[in-house]
A and B are shown apart, each in its own frame.
Chain A
Amino acid sequence: MFAQHLPVLPIILPLMAAPLCILLGRSHLAWLLATLVSALSFVISVDVLLTTLEQGVLSYAIGGWQPPWGIEIRIDTASAMILSAVTGISTLVLVYAKESIAKEVDPSQHTLFYTAHLLCLTGLSGILSTGDAFNLFVFLEISSLATYTLVSLGSDKRCLTAAFRYLVMGTIGATFILIGVGMLYMKTGTLNMIDLADRIAEFNGNRTLKTGLAFILVGVSIKLALFPLHMWLPPAYTHAPSAVSAFLASTATKVAVYVMVRFIFTIYGAEFVFHTMSMDILLLALAIVAIFKCSFMATVQSNVKTVLAYSSVAQIGYMILGISLVSSVGLMAGLLHIFNHALMKGALFMAVGAVLLRTGSVDIKAFQGLGKQMPLTMAAFTIAGLSIIGVPLTAGFVSKWYLVTAALEQQQWVIAMLVLLGSLLAIIYIGRILEAAYFKEPSELTAGKDIKEAPMLMLVPMWVLVIANIYFGIDTSLTLSAADTAAQLLTQSMTEIEAAQ
């Protein structure tokens, strides 16, 4: 009966569960509800993903109003793929959160935490599913507001200033997007993405549309923390509760990358963005600086969460690099990395959260000697870390492989080399932590304490992600076919132009 409504369910299920959590009142009931709803959304998303692989794009007219008059839910493979990752990670993070926030968040706020998490999930699902440019802004704001709340729940008071900076930057970003969308509407009279794409084609080179694109790209770049607009991210991820860091690091910025892909490839079209405006060169340059600058920053931090946060900014550089290569393979590599990076960063932040739970600190000194005291957690950290580096048989290798392939196909040997050099910095920042864990004696932070392995509810989701890292590093058929289909679909117009030339 609900089969044709599946595309809309990943949005409205968490949306309705969020107020229900408040009505339920009890935090463990809220936890149960949130987890179940999130899991259900995940199952639906995977189903939707498989459907898009078979049947192509799914379109759903909200309120029965046909686009462009009504709002359309439009899920293609790219959306469904990231949606599956987001809902999947959300489920795992919720399972993980129970023990984690019990230590890090005041008990009176647990219900609010789950509510905010569900709202954030609603926003992210909405962004991924919607086919309407303004609707995207609305969902962006739902997820952002929930995110500010989630970040501010951290136990250190610095989380407040981090959340505030995030709020100011995020709102500027959203307003920029709003300006851009307004300019689009002004010139085309429509907000539906497909309709926009059709109508923009006739305005190639129009100055209002160019400005609109610039504002949208800057706005999205703030949201996805593209260098040099990334300054809000490291403090936010450092001081947020661990479960929040795990969720945001693996989903929020990725969804923003998706928004960028959507605006560049679906709405404006690669021709406009890369040919008329030559955005590829700018994005490429920023991506490369991001990779090196932020990887380097990651190597000198002493707070492990900050290390991972800077690493996230660097990894976003890889995704943008894939996009800026302007090819189907490059885009595919970018999408793959969105998916794979979610798996690795989720696992890493979860491991760090477990360390915080047991040692009370995330300083690199707290990691000393943990190889023996928390073997399972550190093993998870190690494997996910290897995935970040891009060691073969992990998911990270797969995305890096395609990224370099894409660069080489364009004869960009230097860029290919730079991508690989970037992994070396990853070796350093991950290696430092591993060395502390396995080769150093416990420091004064943990010496004498009886440190136990993390609780089961935290280990299980962590290891699910670790195993996913290995699984998607070996059996790549699903991720590759999804990313390939998605990229083909998105670059369709581009290939048509090439063929015409």
Chain B
Amino acid sequence: MNIWSTLDPAQLINLTIVVPLIGAAFIALFSQQPNLREGVSIITAVVLFTLVLAVTDNTFSKLSMETTWVALFPGLEIAYSVEPLGVLFALVASFLWIITTIYSIGYMRGHNEENQTRFFFCFALSISTVMAICFSANLLTLFIFYELLTLSTYPLVTHAGTKEAKHGGRVYLGVLLSTSIVLFLLAILGTWVSAGTLNFTPGGVFTQAHSDSLVALLLVLFCYGIGKAALMPFHRWLPAAMVAPTPASSLLHAVAVVKAGVFSILKVVIYIFGIDNLSDIATTDVMLYIGTATVLLSSCVAMTKDSLKARLAYSTVSQLSYIVVGALLASSVAAAGASLHIATHAVGKITLFFCAGAIMVAAHKKNISEMVGLGRKMPITMIAFAIAALSIIGLPPMAGTWSKWYLMVGAVEADKMIIVVVLTISSLLNVAYLLPIPIKAFFNTPSGDQPAWSWSETKEAPLPSLIAIVVTTTACLWLFFYPQPLIDLINLIPDVSTELKGRP
């Protein structure tokens, strides 16, 4: 599957970052010809995906890929180096970009949005920064593109230009920039000053020589500094960002942006602190329990939300904390579960968002209470919704099963039974806030007698959107039956493994 094998492997990294930029340039160029513009978007997305596939291929064949752009400070470069976790994230993001682009075409046209060029342009820009985040070789590079991701997605959040959009944008930018500048940057600088390096190093960069309190402080700073991981109480930006058009919400705020957050946390835990050292850090448990609290609390909040997108947003907050919890359990299996959850949650949640968008376009409904009986009008959408919901809950035969399984096993391995209990309760809460939606849609009817259902009654979303929904729904199922490639990839990450280690 490597069609780029003639290229120097290091060039692949540059290309993954540059190709979306070139795409963005063409999108801007063809602002007056919508068909050409969207064509460019799709082609760029496909090319990018093949590039990432090539990178994956090289990763499996243990080819090291590194490249350096420029030395920003003495001893600190903007540099990239491929490692399996990044590849996993890149795969998910680039694959879903194709699907989202197809979906957006239907959605944006169906919704008659304005400034579509700006939308596709910023979309491409943000994917470029996501790729750079995936492959960054040190914290500085990660930080730079983390910030650029925030800035390049801001126009997407405020796309509508309404008062609410501006307010949402303010919260979004405010929380993300504040946490990253005040806490994340401080953590990075603290690491730099004390450890003398920011390179992602298997096993971590801290040694016994570093004071315990320093490392403990840094862990807290990192966990909260990476605001995109939406750990409570810095989760407010995520619901606020839901004012964005649905395609943007689905890719960026269910996949790219939030996953960039948890990805960064995983990366920091694995490559800066080292999983094996985590249990020695005083604050690990504190952050762990804040994570579990976030899991439960945000699930509870989700239940109270009537707006579908808001409910999904809080669901996302909760699911992100699964990954944070997995990362902090100091168990290789839990870390594997967390990594896998990046992929499985992505396909599940994006499907849910796609469905929400489709309902908005086709039925103009935003609130769950209005969706009673919608199954008659939009059967395909609602079936997809049900499948994705099951995946999020973690029921077989859906993709979510695997990641939750590993997380549970990891919790057991780490001897933290309370986490097992919390994860179970959380799954029940998931059932409680997700499943009623398709159930109402299919089994409740607004008023007594209704004619028998027929195809003519349906009014589904535009075809491109529908295709996208079907593809991601399939992926939810597919990943249950064929998770092996992803699991193989995860097992390549140092210190992370789906195999239980023997107790010492």
Contacts and interface: CB of A to CB of B under 8 A. Distances in A.
A70 to B, nearest CB: 40
Contacts of B181: 389-390, 420, 423-424, 427
A481 to B, nearest CB: 9
B190 A417 contact: no
Interface residues of B, number: 28
Interface residues of A, number: 28
B7 interface: no
B162 to A, nearest CB: 10
A392 interface: yes
B206 to A, nearest CB: 15
Interface stretch (A104-112, A157-165, A470-478): A470-478
Given A424-B181, A427-B177, A477 B189 contact: no
A439 B166 contact: yes
Contact of A427 (B174, B185, B186): B174
A421 B161 contact: no
Contacts of A476: 72-73
B73 A408 contact: no
Interface in A305-326: none
Given A405-B189, A408-B189, A417-B186, A435 B177 contact: no
B3 interface: no
A6 to B, nearest CB: 29
A404 interface: yes
Contacts of B12: none
Interface in B143-187: 143-144, 147-148, 151, 158, 161, 166, 170, 173-174, 177-178, 181-182, 185-186
B219 to A, nearest CB: 14
Contacts of A474: 70, 72
Interface string B452-495: 00000000000000000000000000000000000000000000
Max chain B C-beta neighbours (<10 A), residue from A390, A391, A392, A435:
A392
B103 to A, nearest CB: 27
Given A420-B185, A420-B186, A424-B182, A401 B193 contact: no
Given A420-B185, A439-B158, A401 B143 contact: no
A448 B192 CA distance: 54
Nearest to B143: A392
B166 A392 contact: no
Given A421-B182, A427-B177, A431-B173, A401 B189 contact: yes
Contacts, number: 66
Interface string A403-427: 0110011000100110011011001
Interface in B241-295: none
Interface string A381-394: 00000100111110
A393 B182 contact: no
Interface in A447-501: 474-477, 480
A458 B146 CA distance: 34
A417 B72 contact: no
Given A401-B189, A408-B193, A480-B73, A392 B148 contact: yes
A391 B129 CA distance: 15
Contacts of B72: 398, 474, 476
Contacts of B148: 392-393
B314 to A, nearest CB: 26
A405 B161 CA distance: 39
B175 to A, nearest CB: 11
B74 A480 contact: yes
B209 interface: no
21 contacts: A386-B151, A391-B147, A392-B148, A404-B185, A404-B186, A408-B189, A408-B194, A409-B193, A413-B186, A417-B186, A420-B181, A423-B182, A424-B181, A427-B174, A427-B177, A427-B178, A439-B158, A439-B166, A474-B70, A474-B72, A480-B74
Interface of A: 386, 389-393, 398, 401, 404-405, 408-409, 413, 416-417, 420-421, 423-424, 427, 431, 435, 439, 474-477, 480
Given A408-B189, A421-B182, 13 more contacts: A392-B144, A392-B148, A393-B144, A401-B189, A405-B189, A417-B186, A424-B181, A427-B173, A427-B174, A427-B181, A474-B70, A476-B73, A480-B73
